[in-house]
Amino acid sequence: MPEASPARVVADADVLAADLLCGDESGNAARAALDHVRRHSWMELVASDPLLEDARTVVESLADATLAADWRERIGRERAAVEHPPGDHPALASAYRGGAAHLLTYDEGLRSAKTGASLQSHMSLSVRPPDAFARLFDPEALYEAVEGGTYPGPDRDPRV
């Protein structure tokens, strides 16, 4: 498995759906967190097909099939794709197989101390809710650690 990179992020299906469906950035922690990723070409959103299918199902159940299909097509082009064995937890497996250092989720079971301790023996992964990631994200320090040099600022529009 690839070494965990702090520039690679996985968003669980609940976070992906909230990003799409829950209003603007000021009231949407999922969107605020994922906009940090989208604003920087050196950051990657990592996701397997099963993870995106889980999110598509959530979007379809809360909105409609057309929006879900359109979203699935677009995110499929934007994400860094990974594969994992059938039956693996889609978000955890995406993080493990994709070398992500961050997993954003609203699932309290995944964020528990017990789960964190269990995961640390297999991978270096920070599991947190999107609001914590959005609040703690420091692009200058991360850029210096990942890319080296002086942080040039955001280089993409997160809404495009």
In a domain, 156, yes or no: no
The domain tally of the chain equals 1
- Predicted local confidence at residue 82, as pLDDT: 97
Q: Which 3 state secondary structure label does DSSP give 158?
A: coil
In a domain, 45, yes or no: yes
In a domain, 152, yes or no: no
- Rounded CA-CA distance 16/54 in Å is 10
- Rounded CA-CA distance 90/39 in Å is 25
Q: What is the pTM of this model?
A: 0.91
Report residues of the chain scoring pLDDT below 70.
Answer: 1, 24-27, 111-119, 121-123
In a domain, 57, yes or no: yes
CATH number of the domain to which 130 belongs? 3.40.50.1010
Q: What single DSSP character describes residue 16?
A: H
Domain range for 63 is 5-144
